[in-house]
Structure 1
Amino acid sequence: MNWDFPQPHIYPVAPLAADIDGLDHTNNAVYVRWCEQAGWSHSEALGLDLAAYRRLDRAMAIAKAEYEYLLPTGLGDELLLGTWLCGTDGKLTMERRFQLVRASDGTTVMRGRWQLVCIEIGSGRPRRMPAEFCEAYLPVVVAQ
């Protein structure tokens, strides 16, 4: 695969019949849902699941999201969604990138980018990343 960055966390996906819209392709909202699932899968693989977020009263919340839909996908397509952490100030913000690739030919069909901010769950206000976040996330941040 021609990934944008090395060593992606890969989350395999495939459109279901309910994901196909009136134009006979995967609805754009489905890509957004897949990105959320891939982000959680990556975070869990790094040891930070929802229970850890709640215990720490911290979360990485999406401040801004951008998606570039390059080509349509449809029922039966096997897809690989790669994700990376690509930037951080080590205190409050982080960037997550996504690349959706059709497995059959390696063609990139979507790219996404999230700007994340660490928040205190209880108040919803920005707060510094706890040590557990830095220990899990910072070692896997890739250079842009």
Structure 2
Amino acid sequence: MPCRRALQCCLCPGAAVNWDYPAPHVLPVRPAAGDIDGLDHTNNAVYVRWCEQAGWSHSVALGLDLGAWRRLNRAMAIGHAAYDYLLPTGLGDELLLGTWLVATDGRLTMERRFQLVRAADGATVMRGRWHLVCIEIDSGKPRRLPPAFCAAYLPAVVSQQ
């Protein structure tokens, strides 16, 4: 069962956030005019883009940027992605996108989770999950996690208890 403790967020000191897991990597986001669709809420594709940005931000924070991936000729590719859109958001809403690595086989795959929270009231508006597969960039074929990936990513995996 994910951790449901209310955590005080350093980005929104007045609000308590019920993160699904402890110690998220947090990317603050805010819908701009171009993110709003014909129904006057944030288009779902924008959430997907934000998840990509949060995943990269987390990877860079762990010491692996795109340059490192290219030097190692390895990448973590999305094999499967799923998003649960729970509540709408609108123009200018202050949002916090938390992400975690929650599982790995230590050889080839990892799982990344996302939780998008509205800062004003702490409501979770979206959850996402990616099943990631390590690939060789040149061939696109699955390959074992290189030691640099193991050193950076494996210690960051949080327990799903």
Shared fold (TM-score, shorter chain, > 0.5): yes
Identity in percent: 79
Partner of 2:117: 101
Partner of 2:71: 55
Partner of 1:75: 91
| Structure 2 gaps, min length 5 | 1-16
| Structure 1 gaps, min length 5 | none
Task: Kindly indicate whether residue 153 of structure 2 is the aligned counterpart of residue 140 of structure 1.
Answer: no
Q: CA RMSD in A?
A: 0.3
Deviations 1:24-81 (A, max 9, x none): 0000000000000000000000000000000000000000000000000000100000
Task: Kindly indicate whether residue 84 of structure 2 is the aligned counterpart of residue 84 of structure 1.
Answer: no
Within a 5 Å distance, the mapping from 1:31-46 to structure 2 comes to 31-46=47-62
Cα distance in 2 between the residues matched to 1:138 and 1:116: 13
Q: TM-score, normalised by structure 1?
A: 1.00
Q: Which runs of 4+ in 1 moved over 6 A?
A: none
Cα distance in 1 between the residues matched to 2:104 and 2:61: 19
Q: TM-score, normalised by structure 2?
A: 0.89
Cα distance in 1 between the residues matched to 2:121 and 2:88: 14
Counterpart residue identity of residue 70, structure 2 = R
Cα distance in 1 between the residues matched to 2:44 and 2:123: 17
Cα distance in 2 between the residues matched to 1:141 and 1:34: 21
Counterpart residue identity of residue 108, structure 1 = T
Equivalent residue in structure 1 for 2:136, among 120, 124, 142: 120
Aligned residues: 144
